[in-house]
Amino acid sequence: MPDDFTTTLTVWRHYLHTHPELSRQEHETAAFVCARLDELGIPYEAGIGGHGVVASLKRGGSNRSVGLRADMDALPIPEATGKPYASKNQGVMHACGHDGHTTSLLGAAMLLQNDPDWVGQVHLVFQPAEEGFKGAHAMVEDGLFTRFPMERIFGYHNWPGLEAGTVMMHPGPVMAGAANFEITLKGKAGHAGMPHLCADPVQGIAHLIVAVNAIVARNLPPLQAGVISTCTLKAGEAQNQVPERASMGGTIRAFSTDVMDMLKRRLTETAEGIAMAFGLEAQIRIGGDLAPTANVPEEAERAAAAAKAAGLKVRRDMEPTLGAEDFGRFLADIPGAYAWIGNGPSAGLHNPAYDYNDEILPVAARFLVSCAKAALR
């Protein structure tokens, strides 16, 4: 692989890293993708499911088709890498490597364009709004699979701590399904020195946090995975007042929809029970559901073989994670597989010091190309 290919991808990745955009705001990122596709002479359609872009490469002789996907959005995290190409957008950074994912898919487009050893159609899916804003759902609802028919789809996520360039392939669940929750307990405000005249939502929330921690431990079989994490708390302004309201928010994660449904039901019942016990009113919102990302075993084997054919090391021994990824929405409609590609030693995902490893850009591009060619065969 020529050195200028890696150099080109690195320059592109650094530009995207310097100019990150939040979910549903990826207009400049999408414009950058479109500009590179224009330079390569690859046709595309923009504005799909928001700022999504789908490019299509076609070579006659086969009706087979395949999709390759990368996400484009960044996170509301202030960057602390100290890199010369660090974010110029205050409080926003590519803390999850989507700059690298986007760049490696552009690299795959370059390789496929110059590779005569395939026939069929490859759709390159540049997805917006992955970070909790259901960009995959938006693209599907905007007709992704009817406008760009594909028999299967492949994608990847860089993985800190895994040896750089190593492909980790799971035969089933890869990443969890997720939902967000917010619970507000409404009581009766009053003087903190006269709590008997109040209905105290802070006490209710305190008991609810403890009770929530027991839902997984006492409702889920020990050999199954799930989690409910409380991540936000809001209550009161004055130190001498029992407030009228107190609220908590967080996330629910599991590898199956059945477990997700059970955890949501038990969370609701627990909140309502504690509200009743403390003379409070419970207001419960659970939403933003993301489907679990679970590989189709046959497609996982196909992708693993493709990685080996590309000369990449493949592992199968890592546990899935309860981190979430909306690639599962694509897998709900068509078969496919999702890999992890090692980022090497680095700060963790969503960490202010995280940075995508430029050395794996050509590796990831080769992996995607090999998956596409294997699917088309």
Count Cβ atoms within 10 A of the Cβ of residue 171 and give its class: 0-12 exposed, 13-18 middle, 19 or more buried.
middle
Cβ–Cβ < 8 Å for 44, 58: no
CA dihedral 304→308→313→319, nearest 10 degrees, is: 10
Strand 336-344 relative to strand 153-160, pairing = parallel
Q: Structure pTM?
A: 0.93
* DSSP, res 7: H
Position 334 scores a pLDDT of: 98
Cβ–Cβ < 8 Å for 282, 271: yes
Angle ∠(140,142,145) on CA atoms, nearest 5: 45
CA dist., res. 377 & res. 361, Å (int): 25
CA dist., res. 142 & res. 129, Å (int): 14
Bridge partners for 182 per DSSP: 249, 285
Residue whose C-alpha is closest to residue 333's, from 144, 50, 170, 101: 144
List, as one string, the DSSP characters of 221-269.
-TTS-EEEEEEEEEE-S-TTEE-SEEEEEEEEEESSHHHHHHHHHHHHH
Q: What region, left, alpha or beta, does residue 291 occupy, with left being phi > 0 and alpha being psi -120 to 50 degrees?
A: beta
Position 228 scores a pLDDT of: 97
CA dist., res. 248 & res. 181, Å (int): 8
CA dist., res. 52 & res. 313, Å (int): 31
Cβ–Cβ < 8 Å for 321, 149: no
Q: What are 19's two structure tokens?
A: 């100019």
Helix (H) / strand (E) element for 10: namely helix 3-18
- Alpha-carbon torsion (195, 196, 199, 205), positive or negative: positive
State which residues of the chain have pLDDT below 50: 1
**Phi, psi for residue 253 in degrees, rounded to 5:** -135, 145
Per CATH, the number for 3-172+295-376 is 3.40.630.10
Angle ∠(161,224,286) on CA atoms, nearest 5: 90
Position 132 scores a pLDDT of: 87
Residue whose C-alpha is closest to residue 234's, from 286, 183, 283: 183
| Spans of all domains in the chain | 3-172+295-376, 176-289
Q: What are 310's two structure tokens?
A: 């590309």
Taking CA atoms, 38 is separated from 49, 204, 364, in Å, by 21, 58, 22
Mind listing the pLDDT tens digit for each residue in 321-355?
999 999 999 999 999 999 999 999 999 999 999 99
Position 135 scores a pLDDT of: 97
State which fold the 176-289 domain adopts.
Answer: Alpha-Beta Plaits (3.30.70)
CA dist., res. 253 & res. 323, Å (int): 8
